[in-house]
Homo-oligomer: A and B are copies of this chain.
Amino acid sequence: MEMLLNYQTMVTDLTGLPVSNASLLDEATAAAEAMYMAFSSGNKKKNVFLVSDDVHPQTIGVVKTRAEAIDVVVKVMPHTEFDFSAGNVCGVLVQYPNTHGKIIDYGNLPQQSRSAGAMFIVASDLLALTVLRPPGEWGADCVVGSAQRFGVPLGFGGPHAAFMATTDEHKRKMPGRVIGVSRDSRGQPALRMAMQTREQHIRREKATSNICTSQALLANVAVAYSIWHGPDGLKDIATRTHGIARVLANGLVFLGYQIAHQDFFDTIQVKTRAGEANRVMEAAEQAGLNFRYIDESTVNISMDETSTAQDVDNIFKVFASVRGTNSVTAQEISNATDLSNSIAAAFRRASAFLTHPVFNLYHSETEMLRYLHKLSSKDLTLATAMIPLGSCTMKLNATSEMIPVTWPSVNSIHPFAPPRQVAGYQTLISTLERDLCEVTGFHAISFQPNAGSQGEYTGLLVIRAYHESRGDAHRNVCLIPTSAHGTNPASAALAGFRIVVVSCDSHGNIDVADLRKKIAENKENLACLMVTYPSTHGVFEESIREICSLVHEAGGQVYMDGANMNAQCGLTSPGTIGADVCHLNLHKTFCIPHGGGGPGMGPIGVAKHLAPFLPTHPVIPSSTSPQAIGPVAAAPYASASILPISWMYLKLMGGEGITKATQVAILNANYMATRLAPHYKILYRGSQGNVAHEFIIDMREIKAACGITEEDIAKRLMDFNFHAPTMSFPVAGTLMIEPTESESKEELDRFCDAMICIRQEIKEVEEGKADRLNNPLKGAPHTADMVLSDSWNRPYSREKAAYPLAYLRQNKFWPSVGRIDNVYGDRNLICTCPPISAYEQQ
């Protein structure tokens, strides 16, 4: 969390806006999220969104897909033609520098926009902003972009962290997670997730952002890059990058070509004679270079920190060869180039940035290593103990599966590289598609959705497109059971559906009677049902086939939430139960590590009749079907470079291995439920008394009896070296436990022992032997400085606080903060790094 707070600080500093979130999925979806912010800022009354035609095509594509579903009209045109006079514009999107590399002075457009009540959104580039005046200083309400070039490989499209920063005015509408600074029970600064007002966790049916898994790990990488280089280092990199682009431009002019714009940062647009651009592209590819083809007389070329004089020489040779002239060298041009005023004064950044000590202390490998090591030692990870988060499937991420991600052949490929250059990826993706089709019983897979939430949204758009293709455009009702994950209704809302809630019975199953009723009530307009199987209640719903049939009979489609695939693989499948589409969280069942909140992948599988509607992409078509929906992510295969992880998992396990894994996952959950049942109430079970791969413990009676809550237990578990289970999802006042197949019996027992020991402590409160408010549960977690404090004055002993069970004496993971004060955090919202002095006052 400290790194994410650093990330937020970096983004606010560089964009010149005061509030940032902790990452989004990619630049294009970040722009689409900003569009939605603008739409809802205007109370959904203004439905026109203006987009400059010099924004990246994939960004325009994703914004359009997203807008269409919610009846926002996207108008793409030169920004000089933007017209606010009709009073129906909710927002504006421009790019700085634009897709052709040009740095544009938007004059008073931001002010015009603001006067018209429209949000002014700028897509930008963090490296450019180290030397260019940041949009926050010239009137932007929101800045989005990708942090990829801050140390993250291209990865054939991802994963990368996108960023979003906005003003105080708009901050409560911002999607994604925001890390905030609060204080803990000792009065010390402590970090927490703050401000998720738009998130599905908070107000389910009202949620307007479905972002759950995002790009936390990549945000860490990007900010680590800034910490390492510091403000001066970044400026040097930017200056060098710009310099080499300027040398390139001057050299091409020398060779007789024209450069379209003189105000650029790293990307130049080269004008050729008509038709010549094609010959340039051919010669380039032969020389091992990829340029961006714009039209028969235009190509764009970008430089970055890895570009060398040799690269530039090679480019010169390509252009010289096309005209049959002698080439020139970067050295020769450089000698003749004055770079001192190369960026026009009007655009030059004057303000300081990254002034916080964290960006100025760790510039040697030794210091950086120690800083990262110190942070990592504060995280309780799978390397220490099981993480029993229900619905998260925190299983082994085998080291061997991670290795290919580090290979340049996997991670150094541009997402828009010509398909003929990426035969390896094509094979990998098609093999993975085949394997996942076998696992799911589906016909085709789209790898474009970048997370489970995006899979839901995409699947629903596919269902919409299917109904529309049959003349059923009016089918817009999406049934969602009360047990659904919060992303389900949020995705349905984003996809433009009307949500109708279906209730559950006392066993945690969908109430089939209520389902029949809701279907009947909405028969005409029924679009689909979203259902999780096994249910989020941790049971294999026995009427699942009946449920699917009922929906189908009424002309609806079934969307299955695949988060619980770890209870299905090899034993059953979405295809078997009758679903039409489902997403697969590759970061759950298929072994991509969670990364503390991403990256992930949420490909969707579909039955044959839905395959034609799977998304395409404006730059690299990922579908050949004329019925394909528009893009839902910046890259055709989203975070492609982590697909080898799932590919290897499937290849290493084989069909038998995967089936065994599912069996053991279910066995483990049942073992734990059986051990814990005498001590806690297991909320739901199937008709045979079994649970699926996870189960829910109900704490509500305990709370009623003695005031101890599920949160107290979650915090107390930290004193036992355990991460908490999932709290209050899907039922408030409960804990949901998912062991996965990766845990040994010893570890399951250790966790059960901890839970049973905690139950004893609760009993002491129930029986009045321990104080209701001052006891090891309410006092948890206990940090080392608390328990060894000379002024310890609690009614229970220090040893009871820290070593409730004997194994902890040999192997103790110390919590680094005490109980967080959420009220204080809500009242004093701080989302950037606090000054060091904040830590000193004790």
A202 on interface, CB distance cutoff 8 Å: no
CB closest chain-B residue, reference A786: B788
Interface residues of A in 369-407 (CB under 8 A from B): 369-370, 373-374, 377, 382-385, 396, 398-399
Contact flags A651-665 to B (C-beta < 8 A → 1, else 0): 000000000000000
Contact between B398 and A383 (Cβ–Cβ < 8 Å)?
no
A790 close to B799 (CB less than 8 A): yes
Decide if A810 is an interface residue (CB 8 Å cutoff).
yes
A840 to B807, CA, bound (A): 9
Min CB distance, A383 to chain B, in Å?
4
Question: Is A115 part of the contact surface with B, judged by Cβ < 8 Å?
Answer: no
Instruction: Tell me whether B365 and A398 are in contact (CB under 8 A).
Output: yes
Quick check: is A96 within 8 A (CB to CB) of the other chain?
no
Asked if B370 and A385 make an inter-chain contact with CB atoms under 8 angstroms apart, the answer reads: yes
Is the CB of A797 closer than 8 A to any CB of chain B? yes
Say which residue of B365, B798, B811 sits within 8 Å of A399 (CB atoms): B365
A809 within 8 A of B: yes
What is the bound-complex CA distance between A374 and B383, given in angstroms? 8
| Chain B residues whose CB sits within 8 angstroms of the CB of A840 once the complex forms | 806
Q: By the criterion CB–CB under 8 Å, are A842 and B789 in contact? A: no
Q: Mark A778-803, 1 if CB is under 8 A from B, else 0.
A: 00000011011110000001110011
Assess the B798–A374 pair: CB atoms within 8 A.
no
- CA A813 to CA B492, docked complex, whole Å: 49
Which residue in B369, B797, B803 is a CB contact (below 8 Å) of A383?
B369
In the complex, A812 Cα to B361 Cα: how many Å? 20
Which chain B residues border A361 with CB–CB below 8 Å?
A: 746
Residues of B with C-beta under 8 A to A747: 366-367
| Residue A743 is within 8 A (CB to CB) of chain B in the complex | yes
Chain A 205-233 interface 0/1 with B at a Cβ cutoff of 8 Å (1 = within): 00000000000000000000000000000
A370: min CB distance to chain B, Å: 6
Query: Does A364 sit at the interface, judged by CB under 8 A?
Result: yes
A814 within 8 A of B: yes
Q: Is A742 an interface residue (CB 8 A)?
A: yes
Contact, CB under 8 Å: A788 / B785: no
- Which chain A residues in 499-520 approach chain B with CB under 8 Å? none
A310 interfacial by beta-carbon distance below 8 Å? no
Note all chain B residues with C-beta closer than 8 A to A398: 365
Is A744 at the interface (CB under 8 A from chain B)? yes
- Chain B residues in 8 Å Cβ range of A839: 810
Beta-carbon contact of B744 and A364 below 8 Å:
yes
Residues of B within 8 Å of A814, CB to CB, are 784, 812, 814
Q: Which residue of B lies closest to A799 (CB)?
A: B790
Those of A330-369 within 8 Å (CB) of chain B: 361, 364-367, 369
Contacts A366-B742, A369-B383, A742-B364: A809 and B788 contacting too (C-beta < 8 A)?
no
CB neighbours (8 Å) of A743 from chain B are 366
Chain B residues near A384 (CB-CB < 8 A) = 370, 373-374
Write the A816-842 contact mask toward B (1 if CB under 8 angstroms, else 0): 000000000000000000000001101
Q: Are A785 and B797 in touch, CB under 8 angstroms?
A: no
Provide the bound-state CA to CA distance between A742 and B744, in Å.
42
A788 in contact with B787 (CB, 8 Å): yes
Chain B residues whose C-beta falls within 8 Å of the C-beta of A809 in the assembled complex: 785, 842
Other contacts beyond A374-B811, A785-B803: 15, CB < 8 A: A364-B396, A365-B399, A366-B396, A366-B743, A367-B746, A369-B382, A370-B384, A373-B383, A374-B384, A784-B802, A788-B798, A789-B798, A789-B799, A810-B839, A812-B814
| 10 nearest A-B pairs in the assembled complex, by CB-CB distance | A373-B383, A788-B798, A787-B788, A788-B788, A366-B742, A790-B797, A366-B396, A790-B799, A785-B809, A367-B744
| A residues adjacent to B (C-beta < 8 A) | 361, 364-367, 369-370, 373-374, 377, 382-385, 396, 398-399, 742-744, 746-747, 784-785, 787-790, 797-799, 802-803, 806, 809-812, 814, 839-840, 842
| Sample of 13 A–B contacts (CB below 8 Å) | A361-B746, A364-B744, A365-B399, A366-B744, A367-B744, A370-B383, A373-B383, A373-B384, A784-B784, A784-B802, A784-B814, A789-B799, A790-B798
